[in-house]
Amino acid sequence: MQALASFIRTVDRFNDAVGRAVSWLTLAMVLITFGVVVLRYVFSLGWVWMQESYVWIHGIVFMLGAGYTLLHNGHVRVDIFYRPKSAEYKAWVDLLGALILLLPVVALTFFGSWEYVLKSWAGLEESREAGGLPGLFLLKSVIWGFCLCVGLQGLSLAARSLLTLKGTPLSVPNEEESGSP
């Protein structure tokens, strides 16, 4: 049980760190978007690479922040059925949901994107737009980062559920413990 708790804490710390790191990209995305709007409508200037950059950043934040969101219960859930139930009921729902739904979808996403990402790397794929960003292959690799973060957090969720069912629950780090504003 100690090893399971250690695994959970390690994965939770990892996804918390990744989520906090990519959250700073939202500031960059807002500033770049503001810059694009000002340059276009005030100065009649625009660059494709600048427009692509905020779209790419949005994809990175969404994909790499998904594990953090799962850690902090930020994904959509039908709370009218889940919230009022006992900890044991919630543990069963989380365990079965992770094993039957979440982890298989993550595995399908990973294996389904395998050739797609490798082909992009093989050609060092760039933006199709003239003046667009190089390194599209790096952006496509974020799919695997998504699978890593969400897959590990799904395993952590399943392990946390097992501990709850065994009578030794391990709490999810809340915002106060992790130092959020």
In this prediction, residue 174 carries a pLDDT of 62
What is the per-residue pLDDT across 117-171, written as a single tens digit (0 to 9) for each?
999 999 999 999 999 999 999 999 999 999 999 999 999 999 999 999 999 888 7
Answer for the pair 152, 72: CB distance below 8 angstroms, yes or no: no
SS3 readout for 2-31: HHHHHHHHHHHHHHHHHHHHHHHHHHHHHH
- The residue with tokens 């504003």 is 181
Q: Which of 57-66, 95-104, 150-159, 167-176 has the lowest mean pLDDT?
A: 167-176
Reported as a pLDDT band with limits 50, 70 and 90, residue 29 is: very high
The structure tokens listed for 159 are: 């392990």
Encoded amino acid at 138, one letter:
L
Angle of helix 136-165 relative to helix 48-64, nearest 10 degrees? Answer: 20
> Cα(119)–Cα(121) distance, rounded to whole angstroms?
5
What average pLDDT does this structure show over 38-64? 96
